[in-house]
Amino acid sequence: MTALKPLALTASVLALTAGIAQADAPALMFDMGGKFDKSFNEAAYNGAERWRESTGGTYREIEISAEAQRVQFARRLAEAGSDPIVVLGFANEPTLVEVAPDYPDTAFVLIDAVVDLPNVRSVIFAEQEGSYLVGMLAAMATETNTISFVGGMEIPLITAFACGYAQGAKAVNPDINVIVNYTGSTPAAWNDPVRGGEIAQAQFSQGSDIVFAAAGGTGLGVLQAAEDAGLKSIGVDSNQNHLHPGSVLTSMLKLVDQAVYDAFTDGPDMETGVVVMDLAAGGVGYAVDEHNEHLISAEMIDAVEAARAAIIAGELSVHDYRTDSTCPAF
Amino acid sequence: MSSRGKIPHWADVTLVPLFSVALAFALSAVLIWAIGESPWQAVKLMVEGAFGSSYGWGYTLFYATNFIFTGLAVSVAFQARLFNIGGEGQALLGGLGVALICLYIPWPHWSVALIAASLGAALFGAAWAIIPGYLQAKRGSHIVITTIMFNFIAASLLGYILVNVLRVPGSQDPASPRFPSEVALPKLHEMLALVGIPFSTVPPVNIALLIAIGMCFMVWYMLWRTRLGYQIRAFGESEPAAQYAGISPARITIYVMLISGGLAGLMAVNAVMGEQQRLVMNAVEGAGFIGIAVALMGRNHPFGVFLAAILFGFLYQGGAELALWMSIPRELIVVIQALVILFTGALDNMVRMPIARVFARRKRAG
């Protein structure tokens, strides 16, 4: 039973946080990847937890495990009186198109896609802008003039990361070689660290010395492979600098936690409509902390900050792959 | 199944699965208790959530419909001792067939579309199964290996088609556009309303349930009332004997895989046409593999498959309610489902042997 003790403890903590949420408390619906994916969903969970700790409120949470449950759970949460209901992932766009009109007095928040309904707030991120900045850092830090990218599945969202990354790198050095690979073609590609490590090693053998992973849990294997090879990596979504201090060059931040925290804080009477979390809004960025500050020189910071200011001012525009399915940097 | 022990047939099809399920639930109860939750409340939530309302029934039957198709697919193949574990990929391709037919042909009415989509789903599923079937029949490549590899090829192929061909321009969701509203299948509540029975309008259970039940009858008739069925079963019992009787192994293998793949493909009529109304990347989400457990538990008999599919529908829907209203992590619900599969499938003899002993003792005494 000793092995079960931490499990039981976790469960009772969860019971405190989730089990006894009252009606009209906020709710969070995770996407298929699951709550503890060390990435997108976990970031949302952290945002919700931060809200709980700072306000002492309670919230309801649910993980889906089947496509049919998207609509089912969104409805059940609305009927149970949860408000607002934060729904994660672009795959839930049709879910809210179907469910939200039936509960006009409930506020819904969709993260990563846009639904144009009066009671829906749509939060989208400018991943290409954050990826552009880390692409610049990679291009300035490489010693082999070759950098690489490991994506999860080849879907437009992830290609937008790759495209922004390549644009940033080529802005620094037009002759740089950017290798782009994807992990797989099934959702398992988001949680396959072994495969991620193998792909990273293959890229290293092609001369890459910095790899950017945008692949959920798979990225952990990529970061590990970089450390094992004595090379550098770039984390994604959350600040992953601490995972391998000295090896993780930086992390491309996508502040999903902030979006969830804001939604919970704004409560049922929130402003709806489209919220763009870009560089200007502080929704994306790159991470510098005590784990990587010795890897990034002042000149590098200056160059990236100049680009950031230019993007925010609208003088420099980073192409978003999702608008026309092409990438000028590939 | 030759090492079946001496159990009367009725006990084999009722007592053994019942004891297995009871054992699985007992162990699950211990697990739930161990993480500090009440097993009694969990069981109550699951049963009420799955069977306590027409809403619950609707979802239970929706999931069961998927499992009937994939369970039948595995059963038919297993009657010929072919282990088709490619139901997942065949159903994915079936979904592609449904999507192409619903998207590119303007249908005047759902009924015609349903017939065409069913044929398309079965055809695409069968086409995906015939390649491993051919390789087994003519080249001796083992069907277990080829069918499971074809699952991955199907996923890659579908991923490519969804991202590059069917995706709505500008959308980042790798999914096809929504089907026109003319091809929306009637839900169960609409059909029951015709005879005056009220039923929850929410769950996605639809007319595909009737097709699934019809398929149970057709598979039973095919296996036990036709020459082909006899040949399939004879081939399954003993390949040399079947060959001696003039049954061509290659022909039976390919026929069986065609039927099996077609049944798996039909699952898409329920999931893709009945529920989502568009093709998404993981439209099948494991039903192909659950089908193996359903077939094992249902003793490869269509009626057994039907009952086992309802049980797994209950586990899915009851599990969903459990996840919603109790703080039981999603992983534990998968563990409960896995325990049922483990006890009904893999640990079959553990239950069978004590039961056989009891019957043997009674026989000696009587």
Query: What residues contact residue B338 under an 8 Å CB cut-off, 6+ apart?
Result: none
Contact between A194 and A224 under an 8 Å Cβ cutoff? The reply is no
Which of B13, B324, B188, B350 has the alpha carbon at shortest distance from A29?
A: B324
Residue B185 belongs to some domain of the structure: yes
In a domain, B62, yes or no: yes
Question: Domain for residue B9, yes or no?
Answer: no
What's residue A22's pLDDT? 52
**Cβ of B172 and A156 within 8 Å?**
yes
DSSP track, B119-145:
HHHHHHHHHHHHHHHHIIIII---HHH
- Tell me the average pLDDT across A196-200: 96
> Which SS3 state, helix, strand or coil, does residue A253 take?
strand
Work out the average pLDDT over A28-44: 84
Task: Judge whether B18 lies within some domain.
Answer: no
pLDDT of A153: 85
Cα–Cα dist A206/B199, whole Å: 61
- What proportions of chain B, in percent to the nearest 5, are helix, strand and coil? 75, 0, 25
Report the pLDDT value the prediction gives residue A317, as an integer from 0 to 100: 93
Which among A96, A112, A178, A136 is positioned nearest to A303, based on CA atoms?
A136
Contact A82, A107 (CB under 8 A): no
Q: Pick from B292, B284, B254: which is nearest to B152 by CA?
A: B284
Determine the residue among A10, A111, A155 to mutate to test chain B binding: the one whose Cβ has the most chain B Cβ atoms within 10 Å. A155
The reply to whether residue B170 touches residue A323, judged by beta carbons under 8 angstroms, is yes
Structure tokens at A319: 């192409």
* Both tokens assigned to A184: 């797989």
A19 and B275 within 8 Å at the Cβ level: the answer is no
What is the DSSP track for A275-328? EEESTTTTSEEE---TTTTTTS-HHHHHHHHHHHHHHHHTSS----HHHHS--T
**Residue carrying the six token digits 């009367």:** B8
Chain B, 138-157: which have a CB under 8 Å from a chain A CB? 152, 155-156
Instruction: Answer whether A3 touches B (CB < 8 Å).
Output: no
- Report ipTM for this prediction: 0.78
Nearest CA in chain A to B281: A186
Judge whether A80 and A29 are in contact, CB under 8 Å.
no
Question: pLDDT value at position B30?
Answer: 93
Residue among A236, A244, A276 nearest A259 (CA): A276
In a domain, B242, yes or no: yes
Between residues 160 and 219 of chain A, which touch chain B (CB distance below 8 Å)? 160, 185-187
List of chain B residues whose C-beta atoms are within 8 Å of the C-beta of residue A72: 59, 202-203, 320
Spans of chain B, pLDDT less than 50? 1-4
User: Looking at the domain assignment, is residue B200 inside a domain?
Assistant: yes
Least CB-CB distance to B283: which of A67, A154, A156?
Answer: A67
Give the span between the Cα atoms of B181 and A217, in whole angstroms.
38
Position B366 scores a pLDDT of: 63
Residues A277 and A126 sit within 8 Å (Cβ to Cβ): yes
CB contact under 8 A, B36 and A11: yes
What confidence tier does A104 reach under pLDDT thresholds 50, 70, 90? very high
Q: Write the pLDDT tens digit of every residue in A123-163.
A: 999 999 999 999 999 999 999 999 999 999 888 889 999 99
Mean pLDDT of A259-279: 94
Q: Closest residue of B to A95, CA-based?
A: B276
pLDDT at position B329 is: 80
**Side chain identity at B293, as an amino acid letter?**
A
What number of C-beta contacts closer than 8 Å exist between A and B?
108
- The average pLDDT across A234-240 equals 91
Structural domains in chain A, CATH included, are: 9-125+257-277 (3.40.50.2300), 128-254+297-324 (3.40.50.2300)
Q: Is residue B334 part of a domain?
A: yes
- Strands A177-184 and A146-153, how do they pair? parallel
CB count in 10 Å sphere of residue B23: 18
Number of domains present in the structure of chain B? 1
Which residues constitute the domain of residue B168? Answer: 24-359
Per residue, the 3-state secondary structure of B166-182, as one string, reads HCCCCCCCCCCCCCCHH
Q: What is the pLDDT of residue A23?
A: 57
Q: Are B28 and B335 in contact (CB under 8 A)?
A: yes
Instruction: Give the separation between CA A20 and CA A14, rounded to whole angstroms.
Output: 10
User: Looking at beta carbons, which residues of chain B come within 8 Å of A154?
Assistant: 159, 163
Across the range A62-88, mean pLDDT stands at: 90
pLDDT of residue A6: 41
| Contact criterion met (CB < 8 Å) for B174 and A155 | yes
Of B169, B326, B334, the CB nearest to A19: B326
- Asked whether the beta carbons of residue A32 and residue B36 sit closer than 8 angstroms, the reply is no
The reply to whether B187 touches chain A by the CB within 8 Å rule is no
Helix (H) or strand (E) holding A28: strand A27-30
Cβ distance B173 to A18 less than 8 Å, yes or no, reads no
CATH number of B37's domain: 1.10.3470
The rounded distance, in Å, linking the Cα atoms of B328 and A60 is: 13
Quote the distance between the C-alpha of residue B281 and its chain's center.
19
Site of tokens 């969070």: A28
What element of type H or E holds B278? none
**What's the gap in Å between the CA of A232 and the closest CA on chain B?**
30
Q: Distance between CA A167 and CA A111 in Å, rounded?
A: 25
**For position B26, what pLDDT does the model report?**
92
Q: Is the Cβ of A4 closer than 8 Å to some Cβ of chain B? A: yes
Q: Which of B274, B297, B151 is nearest to B212 (CA)?
A: B274
B334 touches chain A (CB under 8 A): yes
- Give A265-274 pLDDT, tens digit per residue: 999 999 999 9
Quote the minimal CA–CA distance from A61 to chain B in Å: 8
Residue A298 scores a pLDDT above 50: yes
Q: What gap in Å lies between CA B330 and CA B340, rounded to an integer?
A: 16
Tokens of A149: 């990218």
Mean pLDDT, residues A255-274 taken together: 93
A65/B334 CB distance under 8 A = yes
CA–CA–CA angle A188, A192, A196 (5° rounding): 130
For chain B, the average pLDDT equals 90
| 3-state SS, residue A147 | strand
Predicted confidence at residue B359, as pLDDT, reads: 86
In a domain, B355, yes or no: yes
Question: For position A21, what pLDDT does the model report?
Answer: 45
Name the residue with higher pLDDT: A201 or A217. A201
